[in-house]
Amino acid sequence: MKSKAFSQKILKILPAIVWTIILVGAWEIGATVVANHKRTPENILPHLYQIIAAIFSIKKVANGMTATQIVLTSAQATLLRALLGFALGALLGFVFALIMKMSGVVEKLIFPYLMLIQLIPVLGLAPIVLSITGDINKSRVLIAAILSFYPVATNTLAGFKSVEKEKYDLMYIYAAKKWMLYSKVLIPASIPYFFTGLKIAAPMAVTASILVDTLQGDGGLGCMLSQSLKHAMSIYVFWLIVLFSAFVGVFSGKVMGWLEMLVSPWKRTVNAKKKK
């Protein structure tokens, strides 16, 4: 039994291992090709070991800070704005989904505009929001909230609509009040869909914050990204920001998964049965 469980774990992570090997191999081949054609390959596509070395390097690259210190210092502002925007967007998304479920008229009025807002590129949305708020920091939070709002609202609404007719009939038989229908049936049914929206929204909020930083400056990962591309500092700052952003995006999705397990005891039971 133990060997079977071990084999299942290996098979589960095997695709990730294979894709990691492929991506690392492709990266190293590209870096080698660049090194054979450029005099300063580190300014274009460095090897992975060079980027890893830059993480632990104590060499000061700008403002008396190492590349890693610059990235971590800039990340504080960007991630804080992303977190605030994400929390605001998630809360409003759930509330609006609830309102749209309670009123079909409101859904018909709001839903088309939700899609329209989502279709506007972030780079086009940023100047509009900035002109309305007149404040750079507020606009960054609002843009992260807008991008978080749509996936949470649409997925939560889909969760409300996924409830079978039999459950409505059962609550009607028990003469349940409307608030009981929502608290006992609709909201619990929407939780998996709500967290699906959160898993999509969390990386989008981080991406939005970084992109807006590139446009508006005033610190943040996006600002450092632009400066490193312009060779105002070591190019390794650019690659460290890219890797750090990728890690944060993946990790934020994982955190939403852990939170879902925390608030969904029935899901933990199902997973435990599957493992057995």
Query: pLDDT tens track of the chain, all 276 residues?
Result: 556 666 677 777 778 888 889 988 998 888 888 777 765 545 577 888 888 888 888 888 777 788 888 888 888 888 898 999 999 999 999 999 999 888 888 888 887 777 777 777 777 777 788 788 877 778 888 888 988 998 999 999 999 988 888 887 888 887 778 888 888 888 888 888 999 999 999 988 888 888 887 776 667 788 888 777 776 567 788 888 888 888 898 898 888 888 888 887 666 544 544 455
Q: What is the pLDDT of residue 232?
A: 58
pTM (2 decimals)? 0.81
| Predicted local confidence at residue 265, as pLDDT | 63
Distance (Å, whole) CA 65 – CA 2: 50
Closest CA to 117 of 68, 75, 151, 163: 151
| Spatial separation of the C-alpha atoms in residues 29 and 27, rounded to whole Å | 5
What pLDDT does 92 receive? Answer: 93
Of the chain, the end-to-end C-alpha distance in Å amounts to 10
Q: Report CA-CA distances (Å) from 47 to 14, 17, 50, 54, 256.
A: 25, 20, 5, 11, 32
pLDDT of res. 270: 44
pLDDT score of 42: 54
Query: What are the structural domains, with CATH classification, of the chain?
Result: 1-45 (no CATH), 59-275 (1.10.3720.10)
Distances in Å between the Cα of 124 and the Cα atoms of 78, 191, 208 are 19, 32, 12
Give CA–CA dist 162/154, Å, rounded.
12
Q: 80-109 b/e with 16+ CB inside 10 Å = b?
A: ebbbbbbebbbebbbebbbebbeeeeebee
Among 84, 207, 107, which residue's Cα sits nearest to residue 156? Answer: 107
- Contacts with 269 (C-beta within 8 Å, 6 or more apart), sequence order: none
Residue 96: which of 153, 147, 152 has the closest Cα?
Answer: 153
